[in-house]
Amino acid sequence: MRLRGRRRKRLPVEELLGVTFRDPKLLSQALTHRSYAHEASLETGETNERLEFLGDAVLDLVISDHLFRHYRDLDEGKLTRIRSYLVNMGSLAELAREMGLGEHVLLSRDERADGGAEKASIISDALEALIGAVYLDQGLEAARKMVLRIFGERLEEAARGDLDFDYKSRLQELAVKEKGVLPRYRLREEGPDHCKVFHAVVYVGDRRMGSGSGTSKKEAEQAAARDALRRRREAEAAGGGKPRPSRR
């Protein structure tokens, strides 16, 4: 990845973000997963993990500030609910997938072969790291604009009450009504105790309907149910009636 030069054409990932970095090294670091750093013999501090830590805080501030200033009729409970919906691994990963961010993340050969470019934990961290990098590169206002550009549509939908946050309950209602069975969730976990990631797959009968990840079992199951409902909506919009089974 060549990132040198003051007057340069935007890189594809910068086009996705709508930002041209003043310090391209920050962009490169934000995209560097620890597997790539290990393979390339980089220093620990050259991964995106510290930037992800910073970006998480910036994202939380920007979303909270926007909700507080623009939705004065919402109480503290509703504001917290909306923020929690937006600022979690499942939502971040879904947005990152929609952007096509995974293909730009620097991964080791083994990690990429293992599907790392689609892993929720990797691409959600990369998105937060990019937010942190923009904050360092150009300040809070630039980071705010980028966050609202990426999250704006979902934020407005959530604030209007157009989104159903309890995806598990909604999926259960549909499964019982249409199939007479309850959804089943299969869980697996990875990572150390202090930084676990949970992955869930939801089945209705023998049919795999959706998958998702999160930092808790509950969050992962909600993400899987949301994925199942999204696939259902897409199938209905396409006129197929039944969603195609999830393969993720």
CA distance 5 to 212: 40
Domain annotation for the chain: domains and CATH numbers: 12-160 (1.10.1520.10), 167-238 (3.30.160.20)
More confident residue, 80 or 131: 131
Pairing assessment for the beta strands 207-214 and 197-204 based on DSSP bridges: antiparallel
Q: What is the pLDDT of residue 5?
A: 45
Residue 115 falls in which region: left (phi positive, over 0), alpha (psi -120 to 50) or beta: left
Q: What is the pLDDT of residue 71?
A: 92
Q: ∠ at Cα 200 (188, 95), nearest 5°?
A: 125
Could you tell me the end-to-end alpha-carbon distance of the chain, in angstroms, rounded to an integer? Answer: 29
Band (pLDDT 50/70/90 cuts) for residue 122 is very high
Q: Is the pTM value of this prediction over 0.75?
A: no
- pLDDT tens, 10-67? 899 999 999 999 999 999 999 999 999 999 999 888 999 999 999 999 999 999 999 9
Q: Which of 215, 217, 192 is nearest to 202 (CA)?
A: 217
Q: Which of 67, 121, 115, 60 is nearest to 96 (CA)?
A: 121
Q: What is the pLDDT of residue 165?
A: 65
Q: ∠ at Cα 25 (23, 26), nearest 5°?
A: 75
Taking the CA atoms of the chain, what radius of gyration do you get in angstroms?
A: 19
Provide the edge-to-edge strand list for the sheet that holds 184-190: 184-190, 197-204, 207-214
Supply the residues annotated as catalytic.
56, 128
- Check residue 246 and report its DSSP letter: P
- pLDDT tens, 73-84? 989 988 988 898
CB 117 within 8 A of CB 100: no
Average pLDDT, the chain: 88
